[in-house]
Amino acid sequence: MNELAHTYRHAIKYLFIPYLILLFLLVYPIEYYVQSPGGLSEVEDLIEVDYNLDKNIEGSISTTFVMGIPRPTIFMFLAGYFNRYADLMVLPTNYQTYSNEEISQISYQDKYISVNAAIIVAYEAISETNPEIIIDYQAKTMVFGKANYLEHYADIAFGDEFVSFKGDNDVIVTEVSAIGGVATTSGPYEFTFKNTEGTEYTLSISKNAESGVFGITFKNYYLVDSETTFPHYRLTDSNIGGPSGGLLQTLSIYNMLSEEDITHGLKVAGTGTINYDGSIGYIGGVKQKIITAYENNVDVFFIPYLGDVSYDNYLEAVNVCEAYGIEHESWLIPVASFQDALDYLEGLGD
């Protein structure tokens, strides 16, 4: 009887071990980032402008997104390793102290800021020929980063607006650049913020004894005043984050305001951040975006080309096309600004 029980226990043990290994592979996260091809997202699904023009938009303008997984499980990592279109990289240093939820919050904040910049650039461009278009926006200082030693870490959210700071001798300042001049002791000091719901809150925060700073990173942005801007627009929630859709968002918004259809019936896509002066910036995930565009049969794909021969998205994209046997000369279009992309599309009409 004892021998039978002993054999039974051994059988259970050896059968259970593979399940434990499988469970470990499925749930254990590692400090990596897996990036693989995603899809196209039409900008009209994200933003809708209330401007009735007697025209049909025959083509489409889409951003290109990739599938990014921070801290993948070992199973996800292995799946990415054997995917010829995926890239594996160590989790960026600036993300290593953040949870996956916080990384998502940063990504969505980047997208929100990008959409506002796209609205500003598009409305300002079209207002040069159409005085009916009005764009109004204000500069805002918002929480961009948090150190893990920041006091009240959980109470301050990414994207919360900085309102004021009470320094030594009760001096109140409303500019982040002035904080250093009045925060001469360790504190505590009173910071006032406004959350995304518009509610103000005040917290007492001291400088960290080791670093000598508070542990908050701020960044200045311009946010559109939707009440005084004309025509009005509506934003739709989306699970796609990041700022790299800025250029295509700008083109699509411009097309919604223009009397002419700049798509000319074509499937237009691309990538590139947008700056307030209309210039565009570098992006990541070039390989995955090129593969995505090629598999979705886009007619025109805009990509940043800023003339830097040591590192340039366009040159990187050309190398990707050559590595995967993709013909690129007819649809891969290098641009340095919104105006470059607009000129190209308007030229197609000629």
Question: Per residue in 109-136, pLDDT tens?
Answer: 999 999 999 999 999 999 999 999 999 9
Inside any domain, residue 50: yes
Backbone angles phi, psi at 123, to 5 degrees: -65, -40
Q: Which residues contact 276 (CB under 8 A, 6 or more apart)?
A: 117, 120, 121, 222
What is the per-residue pLDDT for 64?
Answer: 96
Say how many domains are in the chain.
2
Residue 127 is part of which domain span? Answer: 27-98+109-134+230-349
Q: Is the domain of 192 the same as that of 250? A: no
Q: How would you classify the pairing of strands 300-304 and 332-335?
A: parallel
Which residue, of 191, 221, 251, is where some domain finishes?
221
pLDDT in tens, 157-187: 999 999 999 999 889 999 999 998 899 999 8
Residue 92's pLDDT band (boundaries 50, 70, 90)? confident
Which residue, of 194, 221, 248, is where some domain finishes?
221
pLDDT in tens, 221-234: 999 998 999 999 99
Inside any domain, residue 8: no
Domain with residue 272: its CATH number is: 3.30.230
Which residue, of 174, 196, 221, is where some domain finishes?
221
Residue 16's pLDDT band (boundaries 50, 70, 90)? low
What is the per-residue pLDDT for 26?
Answer: 75
What is the per-residue pLDDT for 15?
Answer: 59
What is the per-residue pLDDT for 18?
Answer: 72
pLDDT in tens, 265-301: 999 999 999 999 999 999 999 999 999 999 999 999 9
Using CB atoms within 10 Å of the CB of residue 39, give its burial: 0 to 12 exposed, 13 to 18 middle, 19+ buried.
middle
**pLDDT tops 90 at residue 314:** yes
**Centroid of chain to Cα 112:** 8
316, amino acid identity: E
Each as own residue / partner, the long-range contacts of residues 285-288 (CB below 8 Å, 24 or more positions apart, any chain) are: 285/35, 285/66, 285/68, 285/87, 285/244, 286/313, 286/316, 286/317, 286/320, 287/85, 287/87, 287/316, 287/320, 288/35, 288/36, 288/37, 288/38, 288/66, 288/67, 288/85, 288/86, 288/87
Domain with residue 182: its CATH number is: 2.30.42
Inside any domain, residue 104: no
What is the per-residue pLDDT for 211?
Answer: 92
Q: Is the domain of 241 the same as that of 123? A: yes
Q: What is the mean pLDDT of residues 250-257?
A: 97
Q: Is the domain of 203 the same as that of 284? A: no
What is the per-residue pLDDT for 296?
Answer: 96
Q: Is the domain of 202 the same as that of 118? A: no
Percent of residues, the chain, with pLDDT higher than 90: 81
Inside any domain, residue 116: yes
**pLDDT tops 90 at residue 36:** yes
Q: Is the domain of 277 the same as that of 304? A: yes
Percent of residues, the chain, with pLDDT higher than 70: 93
Average pLDDT of the residues of the chain: 91
Residue 264's pLDDT band (boundaries 50, 70, 90)? very high
Closest C-alpha among 216, 245, 239 to residue 116: 245
Look up the pTM and report it. Answer: 0.90
Q: Is the domain of 114 the same as that of 160? A: no
Rounded CA gap, 112 and 196, in Å?
12
- Pinpoint the alpha helices (H) of the chain: 2-27, 74-81, 100-127, 179-182, 246-257, 286-295, 313-323, 338-349
Q: Is the domain of 245 the same as that of 319? A: yes
Residue 100's pLDDT band (boundaries 50, 70, 90)? very high
Inside any domain, residue 22: no
Q: Is the domain of 121 the same as that of 145? A: no
Q: What is the mean pLDDT of residues 218-223?
A: 95
Q: Is the domain of 129 the same as that of 234? A: yes
Q: Is the domain of 122 the same as that of 234? A: yes
Inside any domain, residue 217: yes
Q: Is the domain of 189 the same as that of 290? A: no
Q: Is the domain of 129 the same as that of 210? A: no
Inside any domain, residue 283: yes
Inside any domain, residue 6: no
